[in-house]
A and B are shown apart, each in its own frame.
Chain A
């Protein structure tokens, strides 16, 4: 039985903006689904439509077997954690947690039991008598989650719940969320713009851009086999290097790089090379010249910025970055490689970077779709 289904859902706001365009998505019961994409891609609108805070212009939304387009949020048996937590400032933590249950006329004893259960689960017992203003960001976040969990909803909706926390706390909470989901198994829809969160938390991720679904699949699959240039450039950090290239007679060329790909038709291409796939070239590897510009040591690896002997392009929809202070090669985009500290490239040196043929991604230059 599916958990949540969006069927050809479209949302056009008065004023003309199409926030969500023909989105079809099937979330399994108990699944942890992530909606990820840059700001304005429609993920929050999609979430709000599942919640019932916005109505779809066309298309249907189903929770369980029920079509809920016209059902008010109160009756959908969902719970939501807002980006700014939306805790009732005039109520203590305990009353915040109890609020949803009181609205549903649950018996007092049961309310008390569930509140304490959730408080224990989220380490909130000592904070029950405090007000939100007296809590830290992380504590507030847990209260917001507690308020959602206390209802034992069918669907759990989260709108960028970790974006207001500092980096360290975010990492801790991610693990906490994963553990929680493992324990409770509630269908969860989680919205974020942070692709690291998407990759680490999701069972499946849905990448959205401009209101459209770009790719749906398990994180590893989206990483290994991006469906188009947008996904390729969005997932993975630092982002994939995208080169202008072409295929003629089964031979793909991008700048100095050359490989054989017999099945590929003649066309203009975009060739994708992930920074982590680039290494110091060894014999037999397709390779190209790389002028090292800046080396950033991270301890366990180096991020190396520089220019490739090839023409780079920006991922679709992105503005090319401003000319850097270093002035690289004119207005060019820079390429990035991730290397081991042992390889120690020197700044301003010229090296050869190679890549395993299997790690080379090809995309049609016109449509952006991946070619496999």
Chain B
């Protein structure tokens, strides 16, 4: 048989090249991911890069901007308002995260029982989660109103002095903590409850037989096993806390006297009220860096001290 005939015979046994390419897994794979990739490229990847570029520009959202190098970042470093925003954000985060997590843990333990009516109590705790941040802000704006809000009325009933709450520069940020804790507690409780229920009953019984009371069992057995859930909630809550915005917009608009201007609110003001888009982009990148650093730090500390049950 000639070499040519052999070659023809061989190629008869494999489907044509074009068919192989079209039917190939590579093409199928790319075909499947293309819509997602296009969407994410356009609305995530490009913006990430563009924002960086913007942060090096002076841009007013209308006309194209021009490059000014690191001027925005240098200005941020010296900006007293930005520093205040950072301070307010830190205060908020440092109070919000422990309060919501410790509160949720206590609630989850209390809700982890099979007594009658427990579903009602659980529902009561979960429902605020479903309300929007705007609704939360509006309701608390009324509840905490110094003149006719019901909270001041209750204080009045027990003889405590009336407070200015959201209108007091010293109290406002803590009022924001209260309303966001109210709104988010259910989330933490659900996560903790799921983690609590995944602890085998055996371990609790063994601990009881070993002589540990309820509190000792909680401290030595339950809480360590909640490590992964706790770490997750700390990281998640911190990330969310650093991004606080909606409630501020609806209640105080950053006041009174700028005492509730947090980083994202400052960004909003700069970019969409004063049209300093480049400055806003720089703020966003600083926030991004901060979130990254804080998260990595928490994960690093957490991974070393948290035991993961395989």
Contact pick for B206, options A52, A82, A90, A133, CB 8 Å? A82
Contacts A82-B206, A86-B206, A89-B309; A100 near B211 (Cβ below 8 A): yes
Which residues of A are found within 8 Å of B221, using beta-carbon distances? 88
Which residues of B are found within 8 Å of A104, using beta-carbon distances? 211
Contact pick for B205, options A86, A89, A90, A151, CB 8 Å? A86
Q: Are B211 and A53 in contact (CB under 8 A)?
A: no
Q: Which residues of A pack against B, CB within 8 Å?
A: 51-53, 72-74, 78-80, 82, 84, 86, 88-90, 99-100, 103-104, 133, 147, 151
Q: Are B203 and A78 in contact (CB under 8 A)?
A: no
* Chain A nearest Cβ from B158, distance in angstroms: 40
* Chain B nearest Cβ from A101, distance in angstroms: 9
Q: Are B210 and A99 in contact (CB under 8 A)?
A: yes
Most chain B C-beta atoms within 10 Å of own C-beta, residue among A89, A104, A151: A89
Q: Which residues of B pack against A, CB within 8 Å?
A: 200, 202-203, 205-213, 216, 220-221, 224-225, 227, 307, 309-310
Which residues of A are found within 8 Å of B227, using beta-carbon distances? 90
Contacts A74-B209, A103-B216; A90 near B200 (Cβ below 8 A): no
Complex CA distance for A82 and B206, rounded to whole angstroms: 8
Which residues of B are found within 8 Å of A51, using beta-carbon distances? 209
Contacts A82-B202, A84-B202, A99-B220; A73 near B208 (Cβ below 8 A): yes
Q: Are A103 and B211 in contact (CB under 8 A)?
A: yes
Which residues of B are found within 8 Å of A79, using beta-carbon distances? 209-210
Which residues of A are found within 8 Å of B209, using beta-carbon distances? 51-53, 73-74, 78-80
Complex CA distance for A48 and B165, rounded to whole angstroms: 56
Looking across the interface, which residue of chain A has its beta carbon closest to that of B201?
A86
Complex CA distance for A151 and B209, rounded to whole angstroms: 11
Contact pick for A86, options B202, B216, B225, CB 8 Å? B202
Complex CA distance for A99 and B210, rounded to whole angstroms: 7
Contact pick for B200, options A74, A80, A84, A100, CB 8 Å? A84
* Chain A nearest Cβ from B118, distance in angstroms: 16
Query: Closest 3 CB pairs between A and B?
Result: A103-B211, A86-B202, A90-B307
Looking across the interface, which residue of chain B has its beta carbon closest to that of A131?
B307
| 11 further interface pairs, Cβ-Cβ under 8 Å (given A80-B209, A99-B210) | A52-B209, A80-B206, A82-B202, A82-B206, A86-B203, A86-B206, A99-B220, A103-B210, A103-B212, A104-B211, A147-B210
Which residues of A are found within 8 Å of B216, using beta-carbon distances? 103
In the assembled complex, 13 residue pairs joining A and B whose CB atoms fall closer than 8 Å, in A order, are: A53-B205, A74-B211, A78-B209, A80-B205, A80-B206, A82-B202, A84-B202, A86-B202, A86-B205, A89-B307, A103-B212, A147-B206, A151-B210
